[in-house]
Structure 1
Amino acid sequence: MAVPSVPASAATDVEQAMFEFVDAYNQAWEAAANEHGLSTAHACVLGRVETRRSMGELAEELRCDASNITQIVVRLEARELVRREPNPDDRRSRQIVRTPDGDDLYGAFEETFAFPRAAAANLTAAEREQLTALLRKAMRG
């Protein structure tokens, strides 16, 4: 996933800081994924199937075409990190679930992806609480 290193237009200080944070987060995500032989998309899907999910649910949640999810799932299946199982509520459809190997790999990925923990460690408990509240407030817009 290519992300520009600077905003396309002049930004306010808060916009610049948000952009820098997102850019650093994305770079750390990509580095952690690469360390475990995953693409950023594969790591994302693997994380989302902690519980059973349909392809359609994944596509909608990730705002991408279902064919993209299918390709990712096929590759994860080839590595035996996920499997497709019948939906217990509707046998006509299938759901994606992580395998034990997928659980192990994603757990290792999460340990490697230390960026959010490291960033939060730079803040006091009160600052973390304040930042959490402000981010949630900003996202309501």
Structure 2
Amino acid sequence: MATSRTDPLTLEVVDLIGSVVARYYTDFEQAAAQHSLTGAQARVLGLLSLEPMPMRRVAQKLKCEPSNITGIVDRLEVRGLVERRPDPNDRRVKLAAPTEDGMKTARQLRDSLDFAREPLAELSVRERTMLRDLLRRMLGEPA
């Protein structure tokens, strides 16, 4: 059965999702500021800590312009948190990669994000799995 976009339950869920996102961003910005980073710099560093990648791919993942990522990577590079290196598979491509200090900072950032982690820890594995699967479904990703 189709759900109306204005039924009370849908409106409540949308409002709750908005509240969660707002609280997460506030927590994230505070964590970033503790490391003298902007939220955007912290997001780029966090993404690169998962795997080095070309800046164009960083821009795609963060849904922003590649020129913005270039500036952010430049500032992270000056701070010694990121470096550019040739892609071993295609030496014409440069990868942005975290330095050892960058990896340490990214780990500290992740460890300081209590807002999302603490409430999730109160959910059972089954509940967290269900929430993950529902969020993936909302985003059109495979469960």
TM-score normalised by structure 1 residue count: 0.85
Aligned residue in 2 for 1:28: 27
Q: 1:40 to 1:135 in 2, by over 3 A?
A: same
Looking at structure 1, the residues matched to 21 and 111 of structure 2 have their Cα atoms a distance apart, in angstroms, of 19
**2:83 matched residue in structure 1:** 83
Identical pairs, percent:
36
Deviation sequence 1:87-133 (CA, Å, 0-9, x none): 11222221111100101111111111122211213333433233223
Q: Which amino acid aligns with 2:112?
A: T
Q: Distance in 1 between matches of 2:92 and 2:132?
A: 41
Moved more, 62-71 or 86-95: 86-95
Match of 1:92 in 2: 92
For the aligned residue pairs, the C-alpha RMSD in angstroms reads 1.8
**Distance verdict in 2 for CA 1:125–1:95, change over 3 Å:** closer
1:93 counterpart SS class:
strand
> Counterpart amino acid of 1:14?
V
Aligned residue type for 2:21: V
The 3-state SS of whatever aligns with 2:123 is: coil
Measured in 2, the distance between the counterparts of 1:61 and 1:90 equals: 20
Gaps of at least 5 residues in structure 2 are 1-7
- How far does residue 42 in structure 1 lie from its aligned partner after superposition? 0.4
User: 1:109 corresponds to which residue?
Assistant: 109
Superposition map of 1:1-141 within 5 A:
12-50=11-49, 51-140=51-140
Aligned amino acid, residue 131 of structure 2: L
User: Which of structure 1's runs of 4+ aligned residues deviate more than 3 A?
Assistant: none
Number of residue pairs aligned between Structure 1 and Structure 2: 132
Query: Mind listing any 5+ residue stretches in structure 1 that lack a counterpart?
Result: 1-9
Greater alpha carbon shift after TM alignment, 37-46 vs 113-122:
113-122
CA distance in 1 between counterparts of 2:116 and 2:74 reads 29
- Cα distance between partner residues in 2 of 1:56 and 1:137: 26
Q: Secondary structure at the match of 1:119?
A: helix
